Structure 1
Amino acid sequence: MGETQAFQPCNSFATTLRFLTVFLLASTLLASAQTKTGRWSEEQASSWYARQPWLVGSDYIPSNAINELEMWQADTFDAQEIDKELGWAQGIGMNTMRVFLHDLLWKQDPQGFKQRIDTFLAIAAKHHIRPVFVLFDSCWDPNPKLGPQHPPIPGVHNSGWVQSPGTKALQDSAEYPRLKTYVQGVVGAFAKDDRILAWDLWNEPDNNGGGNYDSEEPKGKAELVLALLPQVYTWAREEHPTQPLTSGLWQGDWSSLGAMSPMARVEIEYSDVISFHNYGWPEDFERHVEMLEQFHRPLICTEYMARGAGSTFDTVLPIAQKHHVAAINWGFVAGKTQTYLPWDSWTRPYTLQAPAIWFHEVFHPDGSPYRSHETDLIRRLTTETNGSGAGLHS
Structure 2
Amino acid sequence: MKNKTIACLFFLLFSSINNILLAQDSTLRWSQQKAWNWYNSQPWYCGFNYIPAYAINYTAMWDKTSFDPVAIGKELTLAQADGMNVLRAVLQYAVYADDPAYFLKTLDTFMGICAKHKIKFVPALFDDCVFGINSDPKIGKQPEPLKGWYAWAWSPSPGHSMVVDSTTYPKLEHYVTAVISRFKNDDRILLWDLYNEPTNGGLGTTTLPLLKRVIAAARKVHPSQPLTVDVWNNNKRLNDIALAASDIITFHNYGNKNDLVKMINDLKQYNRPLICTEWMNRPNRSVIADNLPIFYNEKVGCMLWGLVNGKTQTDLPWGHRPGDPPPAVWQHDLYKPDFTPYRQPEIDSIRLYTLEKVK
TM-score for both structures, normalised by structure 2: 0.90
Gaps of 5+ in 1: 1-33, 210-216, 253-259, 388-394
Aligned to 1:52: 42
Q: Taking every aligned residue pair, what percent have the same amino acid on both sides?
A: 44
Aligned pairs for 1:120-199 within 5 A: 120-140=110-130, 141-199=134-192
2:219 is equivalent to residue 237 of structure 1? yes
Amino acid paired to 2:241: V
For the 8 Å contact 2:164–2:207, the answer to whether it is kept is no
SS at match of 1:303: strand
- Equivalent of 1:111, from 101, 112, 125? 101
Which deviations, in whole Å up to 9, do the C-alpha atoms of 1:291-341 show, x marking residues without a partner?
Answer: 001111111101110001111011011001111111101111100010010
2:359 is equivalent to residue 377 of structure 1? no
Question: How far apart in 2 are the matches of 1:350 and 1:375?
Answer: 31
For the 8 Å contact 2:48–2:305, the answer to whether it is kept is yes
For the 8 Å contact 2:26–2:219, the answer to whether it is kept is no
- Equivalent of 2:232, from 227, 239, 250? 250
Question: How far apart in 2 are the matches of 1:165 and 1:128?
Answer: 30
2:358 is equivalent to residue 386 of structure 1? yes
- Equivalent of 2:195, from 197, 202, 214? 202
2:248 is equivalent to residue 266 of structure 1? no
For the 8 Å contact 1:154–1:350, the answer to whether it is kept is no
Gaps of 5+ in 2: 1-23
For the 8 Å contact 2:35–2:248, the answer to whether it is kept is yes
Amino acid paired to 1:105: V
- What is the count of residue pairs matched by the alignment? 333
State which drifts further: 260-269 or 84-93: 260-269
Q: Alpha-carbon deviation of 1:344?
A: 3.1
2:213 is equivalent to residue 223 of structure 1? no
Aligned to 1:78: 68
SS at match of 2:47: strand
SS at match of 1:275: strand
Q: Alpha-carbon deviation of 1:356?
A: 2.4
Q: Alpha-carbon deviation of 1:287?
A: 0.6
Amino acid paired to 2:217: W
SS at match of 2:286: coil
For the 8 Å contact 1:60–1:97, the answer to whether it is kept is yes
For the 8 Å contact 2:145–2:312, the answer to whether it is kept is yes
For the 8 Å contact 1:362–1:370, the answer to whether it is kept is yes
2:255 is equivalent to residue 283 of structure 1? no
Q: Alpha-carbon deviation of 1:350?
A: 5.2
Question: How far apart in 1 are the matches of 2:297 and 2:322?
Answer: 38
Aligned to 1:368: 340
For the 8 Å contact 1:201–1:245, the answer to whether it is kept is yes
- Equivalent of 2:28, from 38, 46, 62? 38
Q: Alpha-carbon deviation of 1:234?
A: 1.3
Aligned to 1:27: none
Q: Alpha-carbon deviation of 1:240?
A: 1.6
Pick closer, same or farther for the CA change 1:37–1:349 going to 2, 3 Å. Answer: farther
Pick closer, same or farther for the CA change 1:238–1:37 going to 2, 3 Å. Answer: closer
For the 8 Å contact 2:82–2:350, the answer to whether it is kept is yes
SS at match of 1:344: coil
2:297 is equivalent to residue 322 of structure 1? yes
Aligned to 1:61: 51
Question: How far apart in 1 are the matches of 2:55 and 2:344?
Answer: 25
Aligned to 1:256: none
Amino acid paired to 1:329: L
For the 8 Å contact 2:124–2:195, the answer to whether it is kept is yes
Aligned pairs for 1:336-375 within 5 A: 336-345=311-320, 348-349=321-322, 354-375=326-347
